[in-house]
Structure 1
């Protein structure tokens, strides 16, 4: 009876070690993909960046496409968790939108401008996750926000939420389009901030704008103090 128990413990240790290695690979790969884009990074570069052998890398993942797929899946799982935390912190729909906008600005600091379009062009399986995340989760989240905001008199009652959520999602993707906004002429973070400001200012009521301005002033004050 002792031997089977010992074997089980050893198996659990091996599984735990494999999980740790996979997490390390996914974390390091995400850093590279966000910084340099998906196209230019090879499995060799991932191995060098992490200080692991290619053999170890291929023991965990079939190829680069699988690494990208797992990185994107993991990224959106983390994004969902963060979004739910932000929703719990939010005092009202305007505050929720404001917090999410601030988080987006932070996230955009480290994203390569061609990342989204390279994902779509070279990694269709991972792109499907992004598309599904946008269609089934991001849209639903923003739709709830807009409807709550209208009910509370913070957003204009004449807007059509189902239309505007689609507009907002396309704005996010459009900012990454190098044909529309060439990276050598436009800063992607600036574009996204402009889109956010344009969107929120277009839906606020006077009451909502007063609340939004309060959060902006508070944020500006905190940044100056920092």
Structure 2
């Protein structure tokens, strides 16, 4: 039952927001009593902690699986983007913003873990891209990996990138192309253009 509550609560939080969803909502959605939920999670904050930790773990494992295939680094970034977007269900109500505003300690912990995972992934991606000659050899790897993380974090901000102007998928696509065009060699640009053109067909 604990796992069922965790999975359903996570789905609701990602679709409707961490502040918006109440324990009553979860109980009603599952057809169980709040007492049942509280028997597994002492309060909403603990439930959110475990939900976000589970999402982070699932995403981290999924990224590690993608990286383990040692694909072309440009293809790899698009594969990771697709996986993350599918996993987060497009974050319809910007749950990350609500998490930051109403549960700042959880957000801080989650953000640190996200940076650790993404930084490791991007550094590895850049190093392989350099070795293959598809990324420019004058890149500062530490700078590029950090600016990439900063950008991914910023494009989730609805006040800067409102859904009335961009869908979540669009804004991630635009950002990934923006990032890659800044670091690829002519050889890498050919690969990037092929991927973009195939995605538009």
* TM value normalised by structure 1: 0.81
**Does the aligned pair in 2 maintain the 1:69–1:125 contact within 8 Å?**
no
Aligned with residue 178 of structure 1, among 158, 167, 170: 158
Shift of 1:171: 1.4
Partner in structure 2 of residue 8 of structure 1: none
Rg comparison, structure with higher value: 1
Partner in structure 1 of residue 60 of structure 2: 80
Partner in structure 1 of residue 169 of structure 2: 189
**Does the aligned pair in 2 maintain the 1:33–1:115 contact within 8 Å?**
yes
**Does the aligned pair in 2 maintain the 1:105–1:193 contact within 8 Å?**
no
Is 1:162 aligned to 2:126, yes or no? no
Aligned pairs, number: 201
**Does the aligned pair in 1 maintain the 2:59–2:87 contact within 8 Å?**
no
Residue by residue over 1:135-193, the C-alpha shift from the partner in whole angstroms, topping out at 9 and shown as x without a partner, is 32211211111122112211011221211111111112212223323344443332222
Q: Against the structure 1 CA distance between its residues 108 and 96, is the aligned structure 2 distance closer, same or farther, given a 3 Å change threshold?
A: same
* TM value normalised by structure 2: 0.90
Partner in structure 1 of residue 23 of structure 2: 43
RMSD of the TM alignment (CA)?
Answer: 1.9
Residue 155 of structure 1 aligns to a residue in which SS? coil
Partner in structure 2 of residue 93 of structure 1: 73
**Does the aligned pair in 1 maintain the 2:14–2:92 contact within 8 Å?**
yes
**Does the aligned pair in 2 maintain the 1:83–1:100 contact within 8 Å?**
yes
**Does the aligned pair in 1 maintain the 2:8–2:26 contact within 8 Å?**
yes
Residue 150 of structure 1 aligns to a residue in which SS? helix
Partner in structure 2 of residue 137 of structure 1: 117
Partner in structure 1 of residue 102 of structure 2: 122
Partner in structure 2 of residue 111 of structure 1: 91
Structure 2, unaligned runs of 5 or more: none
Structure 1, unaligned runs of 5 or more: 1-20, 222-226
Distance between the aligned counterparts of 1:206 and 1:183, measured in 2? 33
Distance between the aligned counterparts of 2:93 and 2:163, measured in 1? 7
Q: Against the structure 1 CA distance between its residues 173 and 90, is the aligned structure 2 distance closer, same or farther, given a 3 Å change threshold?
A: same
